[in-house]
Structure 1
Amino acid sequence: MINNKLIKVCGMKDGQNIHETELLGVDMIGLIFYPESPRYVRKKPDYLPKHALRVGVFVNEDIEKVKKSAVRFKLDFIQLHGSESPEYCHSLRSEGLQVIKAFSIAKTRDLLKTHLYETSCRYFLFDTPCTQYGGSGNTFDWNILHIYNGKTPFLLSGGITPFSAQRLQEFHHPRLAGYDLNSRFELEPGMKNIEQLQMFINDLHKKQTI
C-alpha cells in the first residue's frame, strides 16, 4: 500500500508473471474467470499470490460456481462486472467473501445505483463504459466522482497507464481506496510488463512523498 492507497493488478494468468508482480509489493492480484475474456484463467497457474490478496473476477456467473472457484483458488475477494444483484452480493458476503462490485460511469446518474449495494460490498470499482464486459482500457471523466457521497470506498479503474501517476495525484476523494491496473501495463493479454509496473509504483511513491 502506497500512502494508504491500494495497488491492484488485474487480468493475470501466468504463474511466473504473477510471482514477479507480487514481488513489487502490490496489494491485490486479480484473476479473471470470465470465459469471453482474453485474460481468462483456463487452468490454475503454477504460482498464486502468497502475500497479495487474491481477487477473482466474474461476470453474471452462477453463484455456486463462484463459491467453488473461491474455495479452489483460495480467493480473498470476489469482483463482479455483470448485472449481479445486491442479494447476490449479500449471499457471497454471508459465505465470508469480500465483494468488489464494478460500475460503469459515464454520467452522474450512473452513481445512483451504488446506493443499493452499500451494505453488501467491501469496495466499489468505477470503470469506463464499453460494449464488452471487463473494461475498455480507456479513461472516463473522474470529475463525475466528486458527487459520490456513499460510504463504500472505491477503486479507480479504466485507462490508468504507466504515466498516470501525476494525474492520479491530482485526483482526491475521501472514499478513494486505490487503483486498478490492467491492459495498459501489458506485453500481451494476461502478461504484465514488470518494468512498467515498477516504474509506475516508483513514480507514484515519489510523487506521494514529495
Structure 2
Amino acid sequence: MNAPRIKICGLKDKETIRSMNGLPFHEIGFVFAPSKRQVSPETAAGLIHEAKQLAAANGAAPRTVGVFVNAGLEELRSALAAAPLDVVQLHGAESPEFCREAREQLSVAVWKVFSVGDGSETPEQRFAPFKGAVDAVLIDTAGGGTGVPFDWRQIDAYKQAAAAIGVPLYVAGGLHPDNVRELMEQYAPGGVDVSSGVESDGHKDIDKIRLFVQRVVNS
C-alpha cells in the first residue's frame, strides 16, 4: 500500500515553514479565501519560495497548494501569476466543467473539496461527474475549518467513489495528533489534511506538526 500523503495547511510565516525542513510531509497549503489564515498572492509567493527549499517526504520539496472558494478563472489566473502554486484546492460550488477548464487552461493540478453530509446524493453520485476533471478529492466537515470531525463511518463509501474516478481521497476536518492514528488504522485514506489541529492559540505549532506527521507515518 502506498504511504498516505500528508498536507499541512494554513501556513502564514516563513519561520514555521523553515522549521518543517526534514519532515516527511507531501503538501503545504496557503489559504487565499477569506479566513483568519488568509494570505495575499504576494505574501504567498515568498512563502512558496521558502517551501521549495525544504526537504520533505523522500527528500523532495513539498507541493504547494492554494485554497480558494468560488474564485473565477481570472482570479485563479491572477493568483497563479504572483504565486506559482502546484495545486489549486477548490472549496466552493465549482462545477466539473470549471475544474476541467482550470486544469487545462492554468496548467495546474486541481483538487475538489466536498462537505460530508451535504445533500442526498451518494458519494459515487457526487464524485462521478468529476472524473477526468480533478487530480484528487478531499472530504471535510460541512462548513470547513470547524475543527470538528465528521462521522468517519462514511469514509469507506467515499474511498470507493474516489477509486472509481481514479483519484486519491484526502480526509480533513477536526484532525489532530491525538486522533489521526485512529483514522489511519481504521480507514486508511489516501491522504490527510490538517490545519487548526496543529495550532496553539491560533498559530501553527511546530511541535504539533512534528507529532502529527510522526503519527501518520507510524500508523
Q: TM-score, normalised by structure 1?
A: 0.86
Rounded to whole Å, the distance in 1 between the matches of 2:78 and 2:21 is 24
Rounded to whole Å, the distance in 1 between the matches of 2:172 and 2:108 is 22
Q: Is the 8 A contact 1:104 1:110 kept in 2?
A: no
* % identical equivalent positions: 31
The structure 2 residue matched to 1:171, chosen from 143, 167, 186, is 186
Q: Is the 8 A contact 1:161 1:185 kept in 2?
A: yes
What corresponds to 1:38 in structure 2? 36
Residues 1-80 of structure 1 aligned to structure 2 (within 5 Å): 4-34=3-33, 36-42=34-40, 43-45=42-44, 46-48=46-48, 49-50=51-52, 51-80=61-90
Q: Is the 8 A contact 2:12 2:47 kept in 1?
A: no
Rounded to whole Å, the distance in 1 between the matches of 2:17 and 2:10 is 10
Describe the shift of the 1:168–1:178 C-alpha distance in structure 2 as closer, same or farther (beyond 3 A).
Answer: same
Q: Does 1:84 align with 2:94?
A: yes
Moved more, 115-124 or 139-148: 139-148
Q: Deviations over 1:103-131 (max 9, x none)?
A: 0002773523221112101000000012x
Q: Deviations over 1:110-155 (max 9, x none)?
A: 523221112101000000012xxx4311101121122233222210
The structure 2 residue matched to 1:162, chosen from 156, 159, 177, is 177
Describe the shift of the 1:90–1:22 C-alpha distance in structure 2 as closer, same or farther (beyond 3 A).
Answer: farther
The structure 2 residue matched to 1:105, chosen from 104, 107, 116, is 116
Q: Which runs of 5+ in 1 are unaligned?
A: none
Q: Deviations over 1:72-121 (max 9, x none)?
A: 21100000000011111011110321111000002773523221112101
Rounded to whole Å, the distance in 2 between the matches of 1:98 and 1:188 is 32
What corresponds to 1:198 in structure 2? 210
1:205 positional shift: 2.7
Q: TM-score, normalised by structure 2?
A: 0.83
Q: Matched residue pairs, number?
A: 199
Q: Is the 8 A contact 1:19 1:47 kept in 2?
A: no
Backbone CA RMSD of aligned residues:
2.0
Q: Is the 8 A contact 1:136 1:159 kept in 2?
A: yes
